[in-house]
Structure 1
Amino acid sequence: MRHNPRHASEDEGLVRRLVLEHPWATIVSAPGGQMVASHYPVMLDPHASDLALLTHVGRPDEVQHQFGHDHEVLVVLQGHHGYISPSWYVPGTSPAPTWNFTAAHLHGVPQVLEADENLHVLTDLVAHFESHVDNPLWLDPQLGAPLARGTVGLRIPIDRFTLKVKMSQDKDDVSLHQVIDRLRADGPYRHDALAADMERARDEGVGRP
């Protein structure tokens, strides 16, 4: 990602929140110099004090990525994002249109889980996401075993990360308020969730002096 100190953050807590709120991840590797990308849900390892992700991939993705050969992967996470028109700023502030977003690049070497660990992670993933529905259906380990055989479980300890929270922090307070209002107004660029993210970043002082 293009570096901008105003939008950069080293707050691991914000990364953890991004994983919880936007768990659909892109896993990128380059075994033998050839780029491979896959898309899977991730969750935080609840038993780790350090930042680590749990996930699984469907076979044969593990072969394409060559997991188990001790090479690093890049995990890309993205929060709410949307177009920001310069017409929403105080007149004369900036002529440039832009895009507000939250994104994180996480780096680590995946650990391939044994079959019993993979089944445990699979049931934990289902339980994690089912906990948010009205009538959750838990995955019984016996019923889940055939499903687990078609997957490869991964634990990815995160060695380092880059986090960017770009929420109009470089704009004056009036322009910031107007952008939030426009994102909540009817029209093609309405994005209530992005407006809420902007308010949260403003209230938490993310990226502001």
Structure 2
Amino acid sequence: MFIPKLYKSEDDQLMREIIRENSFALLISSVDKIRATHSMMLLNEEDTENIYIESHISRANPQAKALKDGDEVLCDFLGAHAYVSSSWYDHMNVSTWNYEAVQIYGKVKLMNQEELYRHLEKLTSQYERFQKCPVMTKDMGRDFVEKEMKGAFGLKIIPTEIFIKQKLSQNRKTDDFRNIIFHLENGDENGKKIAEKMKQLKK
């Protein structure tokens, strides 16, 4: 990911926030050819000093058939993003896009049966708990879950490089910056999120 110095972030908490809030991300590899799979990802923070990504994809996926321990992959997380119109400036310029993103390069470590079960247990709990009638892994029964697991390919991604980008009109003068916020606040939910992020920059 190309990150001009102005937009580069070293904020570890921002990185964690983007991953937690945008966990349906791209798993990219180039073992045999370039492959990309949208998949659910969990940030494992049990050891806060040695975090890693947990994910799973279909065992029938060609990407799963190619990956093995030690292979390098890229996890791509796109956070809030919004279009910025050139009409919001007080001078002639070009339109652009404001956004937050995280990319993590890492080494693959394949999950064993028990690790995959715990991963699915955590993933189910994270999203089912908000349902009116949640169905947790324990409600399905171990035998049923393990039968379904035969079709899942679980993997951990141990980070080797982490890149955090926060492009929020930092290059704009004060009046244009404020005007961008004003228009974004009157836009869609993504626009409102970006506007709030921009306001936080000036605190």
TM-score (ref. length: structure 2): 0.88
What's the C-alpha RMSD, in Å, of the aligned pairs?
Answer: 2.0
Q: Which residue of 2 aligns with 1:87?
A: 87
Partner AA of 1:43 in structure 2: L
SS in structure 2 at match of 1:171: coil
- What is the CA distance between 1:51 and its match in structure 2? 2.5
Q: Is the 8 A contact 2:29 2:63 kept in 1?
A: no
Q: Which residue of 1 aligns with 2:42?
A: 43
Q: Is the 8 A contact 2:19 2:77 kept in 1?
A: yes
Q: Name the CA shift for 1:69/1:44 in 2 (closer, same or farther; >3 Å).
A: closer
Q: Which residue of 2 aligns with 1:128?
A: 126
Q: Which residue of 2 aligns with 1:198?
A: 195
Q: Partners in 1 of 2:93 and 2:145 — Cα distance?
A: 55
Q: Is the 8 A contact 2:59 2:65 kept in 1?
A: no
Partner AA of 1:153 in structure 2: G
- What is the CA distance between 1:195 and its match in structure 2? 2.6
Identity %: 23
Partner AA of 1:83 in structure 2: Y
SS in structure 2 at match of 1:109: strand
- What is the CA distance between 1:60 and its match in structure 2? 2.1
Structure 1, unmatched stretches of 5+, are none
Q: Partners in 1 of 2:185 and 2:148 — Cα distance?
A: 42
Structure 2, unmatched stretches of 5+, are none
SS in structure 1 at match of 2:2: coil
Q: Which residue of 2 aligns with 1:77?
A: 77
Q: Which residue of 1 aligns with 2:169?
A: 168
Q: Name the CA shift for 1:199/1:181 in 2 (closer, same or farther; >3 Å).
A: same
Q: Partners in 2 of 1:64 and 1:14 — Cα distance?
A: 30
Q: Partners in 2 of 1:131 and 1:138 — Cα distance?
A: 8
Q: Which has the higher strand share?
A: 2
Q: Which residue of 2 aligns with 1:58?
A: 58
Q: Partners in 1 of 2:83 and 2:63 — Cα distance?
A: 38
- Deviation track 1:32-57 (CA, whole Å, cap 9, x = no partner) reads 3x101111011111323223111111
Q: Which residue of 2 aligns with 1:18?
A: 18
Q: Partners in 2 of 1:48 and 1:66 — Cα distance?
A: 29
Q: Partners in 2 of 1:85 and 1:135 — Cα distance?
A: 43
Q: Partners in 1 of 2:195 and 2:74 — Cα distance?
A: 26
- Deviation track 1:136-173 (CA, whole Å, cap 9, x = no partner) reads 22122513222211101111111111111111121123
- Deviation track 1:113-132 (CA, whole Å, cap 9, x = no partner) reads 11121111111111112233
- What is the CA distance between 1:97 and its match in structure 2? 0.7
Matches within 5 A, 1:143-158: 143-158=144-159
